[in-house]
Chain A
């Protein structure tokens, strides 16, 4: 319990200490996606624009959850290693997995910060209502699913980056791919033929579909109860994968060879 308290304290204090960097990071992701979304909105007929507001808004928020997890959890690992924090925590018998999972605090704060900014931008541009939730419970469940899946993805990347270099450019490319083809920005129903199957295979499309259902009431591509079941199965599978990948890298590699980077301490 005391280590958990310490981890929460570490990440909260760190966010406060690096407040400008935190604000900058949160806004950065939102602004980049807004550039593309604003351009894409010009493809939409004017009369349909207000109706797209909830899709656009939740698409941006969910992509933020994914992107923040990739960079704030997965990308932060390099910083963790190069500061010598890996060795420090190992010597104090503290789980590195727990420490890095604590970055979810930063991810959540990111989302809290960017949500009003995006709300303002999307409502101003589309002229539509963003939050007319049909079912807040489904929004909450979908958001939780997306958050846990993204955290697992970030932790898996983190485990890989303890062992090897993960090129940031590739992550950027895969994030953009997931935005378009992963059913995050647009409903699976709107995707062209075979892309629908691809989106269904991508875990992130399921929480996005559930959030969209909660926000608009429009039916999901797969029946809702099956969608929910798939989402939780994927969530559990990704969490387990992240856990075992982390354990594997720690037991089979780090224990023998040490971390990839030399810390400054």
Chain B
């Protein structure tokens, strides 16, 4: 069938997402508050238990305010990306439309990426817009420039994260449960990425796992730009290299997994 390609799916999903936000204005508004709420919970809890100065010292940050702003933005964007890609499969399964989607003349690997991208991009952009005033307040115009560097890392981190999400979506297709079995992926990824703390505080096994998690490198970049007024270009490039490597690995595995899942589902149908 002509006309159904990745671009068509992307445009359709973008259209659907925009209308979803228009019809759920309250939820759209709360997206602007979530990063601040995360900071409030952390700083509120931490200040009752100890002191913010100690946190700054232990994290080795010159601009802790900016770091917390960017870390919260990264956390929210990671939620948006995984929900956007893997949530697409789950949502359509609930609606009973997954059967038709799977039978549409476009490969599932392309479909899930194209359908997940609008929400992923929207979530990254909305989060950055939401935290921009705070970044400018904390660091002035330099803060907005640093935030753009973080955005670039978030977009680079999106590539392996989409691969990971497609893997999760493949699992959703195969597992005979129509409920949400992927909710815990997001907090697990954030936990091992050391989003509000150094990875070294984690048990050894989780430190090893964190090496394979893309968000860790985005968080590392945020730490770097929050520690130095001019972060080392070589170090940032190294982080980008790791994201590229993980992008290749996860997307290759995801491509194989989704093909197998598609085959299995077409053989036995969606439960």
Contact = CB atoms under 8 A, between A and B. Distances in A.
Given A21-B179, A36-B45, A173-B37, 5 more contacts: A27-B188, A31-B188, A36-B196, A42-B58, A167-B27
B37 to A, nearest CB: 6
B257 interface: no
B41 A176 contact: yes
Given A31-B184, A169-B30, A43 B49 contact: yes
Contacts of B45: 36-37, 40, 179-180, 185-186
Interface string B190-201: 110001110001
Nearest to A125: B201
A135 to B, nearest CB: 24
Contacts of A37: 45
Given A20-B175, A28-B184, A190 B49 contact: yes
Nearest to A33: B187
Contacts of B105: none
A193 interface: no
B1 interface: no
B234 interface: no
A116 interface: no
A17 B178 CA distance: 11
The 4 A-B residue pairs whose C-beta atoms are closest, nearest first, are: A39-B196, A43-B46, A43-B50, A31-B187
Nearest to B190: A35
Interface residues on B, range: 35 or more
B27 A39 contact: no
A86 to B, nearest CB: 19
B26 A167 contact: yes
Nearest to B180: A21
A121 interface: yes
A40 B197 CA distance: 9
A124 interface: yes
B251 to A, nearest CB: 24
A257 interface: no
A181 B45 CA distance: 9
B187 A28 contact: yes
B104 interface: no
Contacts of B190: 31, 35
B49 A35 contact: no
Contacts of B52: 43
